Amino acid sequence: MRTLAAAALTDPVALDDDLLVHGDNADVLGRLPAGAFDLVYLDPPFNTGREQTRKTVRVRADPDGTRNGFAGRRYATEEVVRRAFADTFDDYLAFLGPRLERCRDLLADHGTLYLHLDPRESHYAKVLLDEIFGRECFLNEIVWAYDFGARTTKRWPAKHDTILVYVRDPARYWFDSEEVDREPYMAPSLQTPERAARGKLPTDVWWHTIVGTTSRERTGYPTQKPEGVLRRIVTASSRPGGWCLDPFCGSGTLGAVAAGLGRRFVLVDCAEDAVELAGRRLTGPGTTKAAS
Ligand SMILES: C[S@@+](CC[C@H](N)C(=O)[O-])C[C@H]1O[C@@H](n2cnc3c(N)ncnc32)[C@H](O)[C@@H]1O
């Protein structure tokens, strides 16, 4: 694995070694080779925290308009009000949109993108992904359910994340259900002994604990995701030896899992402490090497 700053990348980057890049992913994604990745996994922060200018837009039917509507109708938009205010929602999609568009181009024809969010933003992001990929490329909405931490009594305690899954080409995407880990049946006595022993293929609802304070995989990075969740994603949606990309890598969970499963990886993060931590995780004595 090579670790380097975004400014030191060649353009285009030659994918001849696993890479850990320090820098804004906006400066990195454009240099990676288009069509090279089996899998892109994004676990972005939810909030850019910047003050935004809000636009109010009026939409009208116009055969020369730039927006597509239902049944092939075209629409034009015009801006009618602009107000400055702290609006993380507007900011968020403006931040995410161009990155998702580039990630789509980085996918191979058989490639798949996973966008990991929580229920506050996922419905807006799904509409955005429908626009970028096309609705026919939507594959799944995965619910990752965990059961940890305080429970409010004012509403249903929110205990799940949402992972949106889109494929580059619905006729050609890679999905290996045979290799995915299996789960115990809820009522094993209703199954044959063979089926009960083998377990069932997971559905789109995944129960998996968060990374616990005493867990062996814990790195101390606050938003670290469990390897078990990433392992399912990498196993199902990348081929052995295929390239996986994580533009918001944090502590490097995607890289650790990809290496353990014999895949190649490119990881990017703009935070120096994240890159240092991911670097130690991926080269340290406890590193899981790819099975040869
Ligand atoms: C939710 S964390 C990712 C956690 C990671 N999945 C893990 O298991 O450790 C999001 C990461 O995105 C990084 N980040 C935010 N904006 C970025 C940008 N523009 N370019 C690259 N990294 C960015 C943050 O520094 C943070 O480490």
The alpha carbon of 262 and the centre of ligand 1 are apart by a number of angstroms equal to 23
Query: CA 129 to CA 166: how far, in whole Å?
Result: 8
Q: pLDDT class for 287, splitting at 50, 70, 90? A: low
The predicted pLDDT at position 120 comes to 85
pLDDT in tens, 127-147: 999 999 999 999 999 999 998
Q: Does residue 122's CB lie within 6 angstroms of at least one atom of ligand 1?
A: no
Q: Does residue 6's CB lie within 6 angstroms of at least one atom of ligand 1?
A: no
The predicted pLDDT at position 289 comes to 42
Say yes or no to pLDDT of 240 above 60.
yes
Report the residue among 103, 249, 273 best suited for mutation to probe ligand 1: largest number of ligand atoms under 8 A from its CB.
249
The alpha carbon of 14 and the centre of ligand 1 are apart by a number of angstroms equal to 23
Q: pLDDT class for 165, splitting at 50, 70, 90? A: very high
Q: What is the CATH number of domain 2-49+88-283?
A: 3.40.50.150
**Which residues belong to CATH 3.40.50.150 in the chain?**
2-49+88-283
Q: pLDDT class for 46, splitting at 50, 70, 90? A: confident
Strand partners, 72: none
pLDDT in tens, 94-124: 899 999 999 999 999 999 999 999 988 899 9
Q: Does residue 268's CB lie within 6 angstroms of at least one atom of ligand 1?
A: yes
The alpha carbon of 43 and the centre of ligand 1 are apart by a number of angstroms equal to 7
The predicted pLDDT at position 65 comes to 78
The alpha carbon of 267 and the centre of ligand 1 are apart by a number of angstroms equal to 10
Say yes or no to pLDDT of 291 above 80.
no
Q: Does residue 269's CB lie within 6 angstroms of at least one atom of ligand 1?
A: yes
The predicted pLDDT at position 72 comes to 74
Say yes or no to pLDDT of 53 above 60.
no
Cα separation values, 94 from 18, 188, 224, 245, Å: 30, 48, 25, 21
pLDDT in tens, 57-94: 566 677 887 777 666 777 777 665 443 334 455 678 88
Please state which of the ranges 80-89, 167-176, 224-233 shows the lowest mean pLDDT.
Answer: 80-89
Phi-psi region of 35 (alpha: psi -120 to 50; beta: other; left: phi over 0): left
Say yes or no to pLDDT of 231 above 50.
yes
Query: How does 10-19 read in b/e, with b if 16+ C-beta sit within 10 Å?
Result: eeebeeeebb
Question: What percent of the chain lies above the pLDDT cut of 90?
Answer: 75
Q: Does residue 169's CB lie within 6 angstroms of at least one atom of ligand 1?
A: no
Provide Rg for the chain, Cα atoms.
Answer: 21
The predicted pLDDT at position 280 comes to 97
Take atom 27 of ligand 1 and give the residue whose Cα is closest: 250
Say yes or no to pLDDT of 7 above 50.
yes
The alpha carbon of 274 and the centre of ligand 1 are apart by a number of angstroms equal to 8
User: Which ligand 1 atom is the nearest neighbour of the CA of 274?
Assistant: 27
Q: Six-digit token pair at 163? A: 């992972």
Cis peptide before 240 (omega within 30 of 0): no
Q: Does residue 227's CB lie within 6 angstroms of at least one atom of ligand 1?
A: no
User: Which ligand 1 atom is the nearest neighbour of the CA of 41?
Assistant: 6
Of 58, 86, 102, which is closest to residue 245 (Cα–Cα)? 102
The predicted pLDDT at position 64 comes to 80
204-221 mean pLDDT: 94
The alpha carbon of 113 and the centre of ligand 1 are apart by a number of angstroms equal to 16
Mean pLDDT across the chain:
89
Q: Does residue 114's CB lie within 6 angstroms of at least one atom of ligand 1?
A: no
User: Which ligand 1 atom is the nearest neighbour of the CA of 225?
Assistant: 8
